[in-house]
Structure 1
Amino acid sequence: MRIHITDLIDGDILSTDTFNTYGLHVLSKGTPLSSCEISKLLQHQIDYVEIHSRVAEHVPMRTIESGLNPKWLPTVEPIYQNAVNGCEQLFQDALHNGRIQEADVIQSFQPLVDNFKMERDVVSMLLLLNTKDDYTYQHSVQVGMLAYYLASWLGYEEKQAVKIGQAGFLHDIGKCRIEDSILNKPERLTEQEYELVKQHTVYGHDIIQRSFGDTLHATVALEHHERTDGTGYPNRISGDDMHPVSKIVAVADVYSAMISSRVYQKKRDLLFVLRELYRMSFSELDPFTTHTFIKHMIPNFIGKRVVLTTGESGTIVMTHPSEFFRPLIQIDDQFFDLTVDRNLEVKHVYM
């Protein structure tokens, strides 16, 4: 049986020899898999392997919902939570001292990069780790990592991609000056409250500027809610005047906000979120940046279960590089190419 490596469990046995994309032999047929072997597959960027059928396969519910095997949790969850806690401490420092320390930013964010950079299924990783608690801090962590990934996909070198990830990590630091009663309000904000929240961009720019000077991080904090059509805030600048990294963080910011659970918002369907980003790329978000993000996120859906508009359930077996939202679906022994069957659409993706 063919299986994605994030769905492997201890005790699975390879049924064929495994090679990487360069043709190098990685693991032999008959190898029992444990965390060590699975880590080796990750390091060689192998997505799928062939294993012997399991005698009795029990998939925990959390795996079905997320797509990422819970056995990774003991490794990645503490790192993620430490970053969330570190972000909270940075907010407290910014509130009480008016500034933050660069060493604290690196200490909080760098372990994420070091431990998550090889993770291929970004979608599942974020959903599995995301909770309703500490939304502001979790959102900052997620935007930092998404900005790092997106910068890498856009061709930035590792050192610069990390710097961009840090800018994403700090993009909302100005919210430390907004009252929790407003930030966590379960109902729709009043116009006056919304105007107060919009000031977090100015506050963030001020905090970072006082901490590090007039840096990229300060620019991103100020501009991440600007929009290419000039409808954003605080200065209603257009895309030509936005820093390229602000455009990266804007995409990461919107995506993270839409997939997150909050007291007033349920998680949206993942394909719906990408469709919404695609729609926004023709007006509010930079199209090249947004389409690059979508192109790299869409392959994460391969192997995921879906429900079609007909009510039928199937599995995504292939995605298309141009028609992002019309994959090849397998239902039992039949295959349906949604680029051909234009009457069919994916209604919901099960992660």
Structure 2
Amino acid sequence: MKMHITDLKDGDRLKSDIFNRAGLHVLPKGTSIHKEEIALLYRQSIDYIDIEPRVDSSALFGLDRSGFSSRLQENFDMTVQGYQSIFLEALTTGKFNQAMVDNKLQPMLEVIDEKKDVVSLLIYFGQEDVNIYNHSLQVGLLSYYIASWLGYTKEECMTISKAGYLHDIGKCQVPQEIRNSTHPLSAEEKAELRKHTKYGYDIIRESMSDEPIALVALQHHERENGSGHPDGLHKEQIHPYAQIVAVANAYVDMTAPDSEGNKPALLTVLRKVYELGFGVLNERAVQALTRNLLPSFIGKKVRLSDDQLATIVWTNPSDIFRPLVQSEQKFYDLSTERNIQIVDVFM
């Protein structure tokens, strides 16, 4: 089947050899297409190629796209509600049932393990109204991915995800008018809000025996240069799990809408987190996030600052946050077209 290179999917296979206009051999028959091959085809000015018929991946999983989305939403809602129950129990008793954490989080992790396109998941979760409950779940899920990309074992990834899920549990002890405030906080209110890290440590220690999870609650606002809180720790003093959750938390925080309800583009957020990887947040965790998310943007629909709709076709190695995009009219290399920005990304 003949296919334009912008419509290719990861894993498509060439049905025949590819030659450029000069007759030079570019790619052999049977090649599995990934972002590197798409970039090569673009550089060789090859617009259309023949690929083998696609296998319906939804049939392989026994679940179509709408079925997956339905199951994802169901588990998302259940896990958020579970966190709300944990939060309210900690509010009233100062501790929570550890088994409930496992029972609510585990099914969600099993569902997202089927979905390797993390960008689509982040876009999907970003459509939800933001509150402390789904914020905590998003941090837990993204922490799971970052840990897996860093090579942690399945068991360690589960623990790190659980730590991300519980990182803000201490906010249950912060007055509601402060944690839900829509106006700028006073110095006294900011000081009270910052206590949630120590409150969280105490609540987790009362509820379970896993010290690293408690340390994540305590240290997720610490920064490698000593500018964080509550203790102004430096890189070597911060638990590795807390360094991972800090990156996930920073990313999810930055995706929140501003006071007018406008959300930043995911690529803009990713670039800001990337910049924090130079001395503020853990460099390895930041690199794992950006290195694994950026390829997933290829093929995504975007809205440009001039209101055109376009598709990302290539991640530009000279400026990884300003990719090559294609609109109906033309290709735009955003690394050189500096007057055009990506303002939104769609599934």
Do the structures match in fold with TM over 0.5?
Answer: yes
Q: CA deviation at 1:332?
A: 3.7
The structure number with the bigger radius of gyration is: 2
Distance across 2 between alignment mates of 1:130 and 1:153: 22
Distance across 2 between alignment mates of 1:158 and 1:130: 26
Instruction: Tell whether 2:332 aligns with 1:303.
Output: no
Q: CA deviation at 1:286?
A: 1.4
Amino acid at match of 1:79: N
Distance across 1 between alignment mates of 2:189 and 2:63: 50
Distance across 2 between alignment mates of 1:40 and 1:132: 27
Instruction: Tell whether 2:215 aligns with 1:219.
Output: yes
Instruction: Tell whether 2:97 aligns with 1:96.
Output: no
**The one of 118, 124, 127 aligned to 1:128:** 124
Q: Structure 1 21/208 Cα, relative in aligned 2: closer, same or farther at 3 Å?
A: farther
1:181-220 correspondence runs (5 A): 181-213=177-209, 215-220=211-216
Q: Structure 1 264/226 Cα, relative in aligned 2: closer, same or farther at 3 Å?
A: farther
Instruction: Flag structure 1 segments of 5+ consecutive residues without an equivalent.
Output: 6-15, 23-27, 43-68
Q: CA deviation at 1:306?
A: 3.2
Instruction: Tell whether 2:233 aligns with 1:237.
Output: yes
Most deviating of 139-148 and 118-127: 118-127
Distance across 2 between alignment mates of 1:344 and 1:263: 26
Other-structure match for 1:36 = 59
Q: Structure 1 150/262 Cα, relative in aligned 2: closer, same or farther at 3 Å?
A: same
Q: CA deviation at 1:122?
A: 2.0
Other-structure match for 1:290 = 286
Q: Secondary structure at the match of 1:315?
A: strand
Other-structure match for 1:174 = 170
Other-structure match for 1:164 = 160
Q: Structure 1 296/305 Cα, relative in aligned 2: closer, same or farther at 3 Å?
A: same
Q: Deviations over 1:294-314 (max 9, x none)?
A: 111112211223355666543
Instruction: Tell whether 2:259 aligns with 1:271.
Output: no
Distance across 1 between alignment mates of 2:58 and 2:210: 44
Other-structure match for 2:27 = none
Other-structure match for 1:347 = 342
Q: Structure 1 29/303 Cα, relative in aligned 2: closer, same or farther at 3 Å?
A: closer
Q: CA deviation at 1:112?
A: 0.9
Q: CA deviation at 1:3?
A: 6.1
Other-structure match for 2:47 = none
**The one of 96, 104, 107 aligned to 1:108:** 104
Q: Secondary structure at the match of 2:104?
A: helix
Q: Secondary structure at the match of 1:255?
A: helix
- Identity %, equivalent residues: 35
Q: CA deviation at 1:320?
A: 4.2
Q: CA deviation at 1:103?
A: 1.0
Q: Structure 1 154/299 Cα, relative in aligned 2: closer, same or farther at 3 Å?
A: same
Distance across 2 between alignment mates of 1:78 and 1:40: 17
Q: Structure 1 177/143 Cα, relative in aligned 2: closer, same or farther at 3 Å?
A: same
Instruction: Tell whether 2:166 aligns with 1:154.
Output: no
* Cα root mean square deviation, aligned: 3.2
TM (norm. structure 2) is 0.78
Most deviating of 260-269 and 88-97: 260-269
Distance across 2 between alignment mates of 1:287 and 1:30: 38
Other-structure match for 1:281 = 277
Distance across 2 between alignment mates of 1:71 and 1:261: 29
Distance across 2 between alignment mates of 1:322 and 1:99: 50
Q: Secondary structure at the match of 2:70?
A: helix
Q: Structure 1 104/119 Cα, relative in aligned 2: closer, same or farther at 3 Å?
A: same
Instruction: Flag structure 2 segments of 5+ consecutive residues without an equivalent.
Output: 16-29, 34-51
Q: Structure 1 295/192 Cα, relative in aligned 2: closer, same or farther at 3 Å?
A: same
Amino acid at match of 2:93: N
Q: CA deviation at 1:134?
A: 6.1
Q: Deviations over 1:78-113 (max 9, x none)?
A: 100100000011111212222122211100110111
Q: Structure 1 117/92 Cα, relative in aligned 2: closer, same or farther at 3 Å?
A: same
Distance across 1 between alignment mates of 2:121 and 2:92: 33
Most deviating of 299-308 and 238-247: 299-308
Q: Deviations over 1:304-331 (max 9, x none)?
A: 2335566654311122467321322223
Distance across 2 between alignment mates of 1:20 and 1:71: 31
Counterpart contact for 2:140–2:164, Cα < 8 Å: yes
Instruction: Tell whether 2:328 aligns with 1:328.
Output: no
Other-structure match for 1:51 = none
Amino acid at match of 2:200: G
Distance across 2 between alignment mates of 1:131 and 1:100: 29
